[in-house]
């Protein structure tokens, strides 16, 4: 069975945000490398599960991977982008002879 389409992006835990109330979770703010400037930061509950099933939390400055996974029916084939350089040969076509 094939895996679902996915992408992994590197990130860094920029800060740990203490909960505003006793019944609210601590958050980790992660800066995602390669994301648009206004959308590069995400905040998630700062609770992970280690290989032994124990709850652990991220440290400020930690390097992480952010994974985006989609169901196959939620994706569409990506079309090749055309070059804006008029001197560049067209893709998927034979080079023009001079």
Question: What pairs with residue 55 in β-bridges?
Answer: 49
Give burial (CB, 10 Å; 0-12/13-18/19+) of 14. middle
Q: What is the pLDDT of residue 77?
A: 92
Domain of residue 50, residue span: 10-67
When divided into structural domains, the chain yields a total of 1
78 DSSP assignment:
P
In a domain, 76, yes or no: no
Residue count of the chain: 98
In a domain, 33, yes or no: yes
Q: What is the pLDDT of residue 38?
A: 95
In a domain, 92, yes or no: no
In a domain, 54, yes or no: yes
In a domain, 62, yes or no: yes
Report the chain's mean pLDDT, rounded to a whole number.
88
In a domain, 38, yes or no: yes
In a domain, 72, yes or no: no
d(CA 45, CA 54): 15
pTM: 0.73
Of 13, 24, 96, 94, the C-alpha closest to 60 is 13
Query: Tens digits of per-residue pLDDT, 27-54?
Result: 999 999 999 999 999 999 999 999 999 9
92 DSSP assignment:
T
Query: Tens digits of per-residue pLDDT, 53-97?
Result: 999 999 999 999 999 999 999 999 998 766 666 665 555 545 555
């Amino acid at each position: 069975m094939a895996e679902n389409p996915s992408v992994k992006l590197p990130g860094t835990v920029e800060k740990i945000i203490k909960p505003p109330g006793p019944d609210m979770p601590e958050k980790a703010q992660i800066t995602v490398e390669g994301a648009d400037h206004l959308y590069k930061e995400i905040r998630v509950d700062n609770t992970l599960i280690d290989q032994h099933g124990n709850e652990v939390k991220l440290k400020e400055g930690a390097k992480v991977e952010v994974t985006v996974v989609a169901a196959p029916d939620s994706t569409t084939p990506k079309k090749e982008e055309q070059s804006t350089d008029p001197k560049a040969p067209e893709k998927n076509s034979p080079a023009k002879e001079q």
